[in-house]
Amino acid sequence: MLIWIPHYLLRTQLNISVLPHMHHLLALLLLVVAVCKLTALIVKRRETLRNLEAFPGPPAHWLFGHVQEVIKSRTPIKKQCCNVTRYKYFQYPFAFQIWFGPFVSFLNIHHPDYVKTLLSTTGVYGLLVSSGQKWFRNRRLLTPGFHYDILKPYVKLMSDSAKTMLDKWESYAQTSESFELFEHVSLMTLDSIMKCAFSLNSAFNVRLSSHFSGTNAYIKAVYDLSFLINLRFRVIPYHNNIIFHLSPHGFRFRKAVKVAHHHTEEVIRKRREELKKETELDRIQAKRNLDFLDILLCARDENQHSLSDEDIRAEVDTFMFEGHDTTASGISFILYCLACNPEHQQMCRDEITYALEGKDTIDWEDLSKIPYTTMCIKESLRLYPPVPGIARKITKPLTFFDGRTAAAGHCCICVYLEIWVFDPLRFLPENVSSRSPHAFVPFSAGPRNCIGQTFAMNEMKVVIALTLRRYQLIEDPDRKPKVIPSLVLRSLNGIHIKIKPVDHQP
Ligand code: HEM
């Protein structure tokens, strides 16, 4: 039968009587593929269950696994523990297995000593970023880009971006309506990363409503990619490459990747031209502020090898995504937390007013003068971590302090949400020193921690200080955020607050 197929296809006049056979054959083929795939998944599930035997977890729904509990657990219920949290602490200490659907599982880690073992070991790799030797070399070449000499002038750039956004908020301050702030903040952090990383002025005035109307294709592409990457993580069928590839979202994703790559390649090419004559960072710095792109282009390893264009593009992409979406999520939830906690908000405002001495801007030196605000920022990062889970694939068996071992090949995820009460005093130095340093790891820890941590903390301080100086933040009890599990923490219905101008009476 199979031998005859090419022969039929070569015929100029297709014999109609053959068509039903073709359909049957195709259906049979699809059935065989589906059965093989399903068998492979069932075998993998059995193997996973065997390997995670030492880490029992709460009962899982046969189809959804723990998805429903996880979604419920992200709802901010003050002073109340949700199902998963209760399980975590009382029934399944340190770590337990968690299922997303019938075939995808993680080892959910929720104890500082387990977190420490996982993040300090070298037999693991991140799922989103490069691994091994290449990561090690690139990380070393990138580190000088986060030296405080480089970060210092960025404070002014961040402050300018924040002011542009706050000017736009003037119209919201005149009404008693709440407004959605995440989109505003996200555009602002994108604007500031473009200025700091590539000395590019983004078209910050592009409108969000009809989504940029093609004026700034790159911004639209980055914005779309952030949305689609998070969407793909949330929608379980999209974890399959073929389904995602064939879906309309997959099509949009490929289109956005093309635009982003094209833009980045152009920026690199132009800067290479510009730097042809000048390859010494010191000499460039004498003329203008350095940005990340200068650092990347001038970086040399011990053999005087520079990064390839492809490597630079990959690093630029990582910066753009790690650098704007995470910080936008952080800032948005901090503003929301302060709106819900007016007494802490006022203490921050008093501190900021005193530190800024009447200035309408914030300088590098001021960043260390606002410790209470810094504690509120950390407390919000604890309650609403912008990166809610840190995934690692173990390449060799990993034994934890209580003697239990996770087999190679498993993904671990650290979820470190514990208590729902907003209490910045947790971050008083005396309270911090009595806790494990691995109890609070919003920027991860160990060799692969967040390289942009100081950059992000600076930006959060700048934006919070300038916002509180100008506006009073008020919670809208009718529009609470519906927090959803995503790569970067988001709210399904946006983040809404009301604002009023601050009365600057002496
Ligand atoms: C509030 C803001 C931020 C948070 C909470 C955050 C959090 C994190 C976390 C948890 C990781 C580890 C991810 C993993 O191992 O799976 C990470 C890695 C990373 N972050 Fe951030 N990040 C923030 C802002 C930034 C910024 C502003 C930049 C760049 C300008 C940045 C650049 C990176 C890079 C390049 C990595 C990969 C590091 C490596 O693998 O060596 N991040 N970040």
> Is residue 166 over pLDDT 60?
yes
Q: Pick the more confident residue, 318 or 338.
A: 338
Mean pLDDT of the chain: 83
Ligand 1 atom closest to the CA of 129, numbered from 1: 40
Q: Ligand 1, from 131, 322, 387: best to mutate by most atoms within 8 Å of Cβ?
A: 322
Atom of ligand 1 nearest to the CA of 197: 30
Is residue 149 within 8 Å of residue 282, measured between CB atoms? no
**Protein residue with its CA nearest to atom 11 in ligand 1:** 450
**Inter-axis angle of helices 217-234 and 182-198, nearest 10:** 120
Most confident among 121-125, 161-165, 234-238 (mean pLDDT): 161-165
Task: Give the model confidence (pLDDT) of 226-275 as tens digits.
Answer: 889 888 877 878 888 999 999 999 999 999 999 888 888 888 888 888 88
Atom of ligand 1 nearest to the CA of 442: 5
Higher-pLDDT residue of 207 and 245 is 245
Does the structure show a pLDDT above 80 at 106? yes
Ligand 1 binding site (Cβ under 6 Å of any ligand atom): 126, 128-129, 139, 318-319, 322-323, 326-327, 330, 386-387, 390-391, 442-444, 448, 450-452, 455-456
Query: What pLDDT band is residue 109 in, cutting at 50, 70 and 90?
Result: confident
Residue 79 has pLDDT above 70, yes or no: no
- List the residue whose alpha carbon is closest to atom 31 of ligand 1: 452
* Distance between first and last Cα of the chain: 93
Residue 503: pLDDT band with limits 50, 70, 90: confident
Per-residue pLDDT, 310: 87
Of residues 475 and 131, the one with the higher pLDDT is 475
* Rounded average pLDDT over 77-99: 61
Residues above pLDDT 90, as percent of the chain: 38
Looking at per-residue pLDDT, the higher value among 81 and 61 belongs to 61
Per-residue pLDDT band at 214 (split at 50, 70, 90): very low
Residue nearest to atom 21 of ligand 1 (CA): 450
Residue 203 has a pLDDT of: 52
Give every CB contact of residue 287 below 8 A, 6+ residues apart in sequence: none
Whether 115 shows a pLDDT value over 80: the answer reads yes
For residue 442, how far is its CA from the centre of ligand 1 (angstroms)? Answer: 9
What is the best residue among 119, 450, 490 to mutate for testing ligand 1's pocket, by most ligand atoms within 8 Å of CB? 450
Query: Could you state, in order of their start, the residue ranges of all structural domains in the chain?
Result: 4-44, 111-501
Give per-residue pLDDT as tens, 37-59.
899 999 989 988 888 899 998 88
Q: Which residue has the higher pLDDT, 12 or 302?
A: 302
Rounded Cα distance between 14 and 282, Å, is: 74
| Section 167-193 average pLDDT | 93
* Distance from residue 168's CA to the centre of ligand 1 (Å): 29
Strand ranges for 55-206 from DSSP E: 95-100, 104-109, 124-126, 179-180
**pLDDT (tens digit, 9 = 90+) per residue, 276-289?**
776 666 677 767 77
Q: Residues 424, 294: contact at Cβ < 8 Å?
A: no
pLDDT at 212: 40
Q: How confident is the model at residue 19 (pLDDT cuts 50, 70, 90)?
A: low
Question: Would you say residue 336 has pLDDT above 80?
Answer: yes
Could you give phi then psi for residue 105, rounded to 5 degrees?
-135, 155
pLDDT, tens only, 380-409: 999 999 998 888 888 888 899 999 998 887
- Gap between the Cα atoms of 21 and 5, Å rounded: 10
pLDDT value for 78? 37
Please give the single-letter amino acid code of residue 406.
A
Q: How distant, in Å, are the alpha carbons of 28, 75, 390 from that of 414?
A: 43, 18, 5
CATH architecture of 111-501: Orthogonal Bundle (1.10)
Going by their DSSP bridges, the two strands 483-484 and 490-491 should be labelled as antiparallel
Condensed to tens digits (0 to 9), the pLDDT of residues 425-452 reads 999 999 999 888 888 889 998 888 999 9
What CA–CA distance (Å, rounded) separates 233 from 9? 42
Is pLDDT of 140 > 70?
yes
What pLDDT shows up at residue 20? 64
Q: Find out whether 82 is annotated in a ligand binding site.
A: no
The percent of residues above 70 in pLDDT, for the chain, comes to: 83
User: Given pLDDT bands bounded at 50, 70 and 90, which one contains residue 493?
Assistant: very high
Dist. CA 94–CA 55, nearest whole Å: 9
Closest residue (by CA) to atom 13 of ligand 1?
A: 390
| 282 CA → ligand 1 middle, Å | 27
